[in-house]
């Protein structure tokens, strides 16, 4: 097992250290990802098939949805998704500078 002692203090700086130190591919794609709740595979689903699982406002606000094939948790590109993208972009910028 490989390990890395992190020298930085902020989360984004530590994240950049891990990505650089282990040569990770830094991209976020929901297709083929795993559910954080149960580790099941996440697959894309038509919004009509999950209309009973999310609010009407969410259905109206988003076009793309994913569902866990194991536990049924539904995901969409909302506020948390935008936050992850922002962090990834920040880390990519840090890596370019180094």
The alpha carbon dihedral of 28, 32, 36, 39 has a sign of negative
Q: What is the pLDDT of residues 23-73, one digit of tens each?
A: 998 888 888 789 999 999 999 999 999 999 999 999 999 999 999 999 999
**Quick one: pLDDT band at residue 98, thresholds 50, 70, 90?**
confident
Query: What pLDDT score does 44 carry?
Result: 95
Query: What pLDDT score does 67 carry?
Result: 96
**Quick one: pLDDT band at residue 14, thresholds 50, 70, 90?**
very high
Give the span between the Cα atoms of 87 and 48, in whole angstroms.
31
Q: Which residue(s) pair with 66 in the sheet? A: 44, 75
């Amino acid at each position: 097992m490989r390990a890395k002692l992190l020298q930085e203090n902020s989360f984004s700086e530590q994240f950049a250290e891990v990505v650089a130190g282990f040569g990770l591919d830094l991209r976020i794609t929901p297709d083929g990802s795993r559910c954080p709740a149960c580790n099941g595979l996440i697959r894309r689903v038509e919004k009509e098939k999950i209309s009973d699982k999310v609010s009407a406002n969410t259905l109206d606000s988003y076009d793309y949805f994913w569902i866990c094939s194991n536990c049924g948790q539904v995901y969409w590109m909302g506020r948390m998704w935008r936050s992850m993208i922002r962090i990834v972009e920040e880390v990519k910028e840090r890596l370019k500078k180094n």
